[in-house]
Amino acid sequence: MDRIERVTISSVTLPLSVPVSDAKVLTGRQRPMTEVAVLFAEVTDAGGASGFGFSYSKRAGGPGQYAHACEIAPALLGEDPSDIGRLWDKLAWAGASVGRSGLAVQAIAAFDIALWDMKAKRAGLPLAKLLGAHRDSVRCYNTSGGFLHAPVSSILERAAESLAAGIGGIKLKVGQPSTSVDLTRVTAVREKLGDDVPLMVDANQQWDRPTARRMCRAFEPMNLVWIEEPLDAYDFDGHAALSRAFDTPIATGEMLASAAEHMALIDAGVDIVQPDAPRVGGITQFLKVMAAAERAHLQLAPHFAREIHVHLAAAYPLEPWVEHFEWFDPLFNEHLEIADGRMHLSARPGLGVTVSDQARAWTVATHEVTA
């Protein structure tokens, strides 16, 4: 077998055209988001085969991910790229002093995803087909038009554009200081779109338990697909209690930064899990979360990073959802086909994306290690 001969790491700063705000900004806990830090990794073996992966960070953490990736990358040199599980463990031990969650595994994720991309390319298969796809397309919904900084008129305009473009559902941010404002905004969108359009809301962890119960009760008549992160991401018991108390499904998990944290959430009991492959440590760890969710008969709705998650969602037995964000479009030369409410797999091998010239122009640092 060929051995890994070169690893290239790049830090890319993706600017957002408009600063965006969710409930964390309105509560004063975070500032509006103006950019996303993206970590690229390319792994090349002695035979010239290569794989591409990425991770990301919002608001803070990007330089830390890049620095940690540069530190642990030499552990891959000389290794068989097919031994992905063993290499994940090796990378984790290379950075063991910073633990096995959070920034540490988010840096590993870029390498892990690159190794899976290489494996699928070697097999001549899209990643979903290598994993064992259950479908060739996945239901998708748009979030990027529903942030709290946008007035209702803009949200309705963006929602109409998204639905006309073939996207299947719309998600709105909630968590205003006044809950009545949330109810007014969501009611206006539901009335405009009608009952047949899938509609979700996302509080981004900003309610306490009494407020969450009141809001879940108020939203019950609106036929929502789910209510997302009504409580702190680590309040597993609180989310489970809401899942038991209300008919509207409760979704959470995007902020969890390891497979172990997801196992605790699944054990507590929740309706919909929302793992994020770059945040939990890559595809190797995501597959562990996916298996646990399947055993518990839970719905799956991966967070962000659709270029990765469309493949993973396609391999999940129960019909999932994938989140549509167009923010990463400038980074890649290829884009996923969206039609009839669904995101369609391409026939391209691996992840099916290559890095664009624009991404290279936004690159702020590059590091390479060779055998």
Q: Which residues are catalytic?
A: 173, 303
The amino acid sitting at 162 is S
Report whether 42 belongs to an annotated binding site.
no
Residue 292, annotated ligand binder?
no
204 in a known ligand binding site: yes
Query: Which pair of tokens denotes residue 132?
Result: 């064992």
The answer to whether 6 is a known ligand-binding residue is no
> Is 171 annotated in some ligand binding site?
yes
- Residue 40 near residue 355 (C-beta atoms within 8 A): yes
Q: Binding site annotation covers 323?
A: yes
Query: What does the alpha-carbon distance between residue 233 and residue 102 come to, in Å, rounded to a whole number?
Result: 14
**Residue 58 is assigned to a ligand binding site:** yes
- 142 in a labelled binding site: no
Is there a binding annotation on residue 208? no
- Would the annotation count 192 as a binding residue? no
d(CA 170, CA 145): 8
Query: Is 203 annotated as a binding-site member?
Result: no
Annotated binding site for Mg(2+): 202, 228, 254
Annotated binding site for substrate: 22-24, 58-59, 171, 204, 323
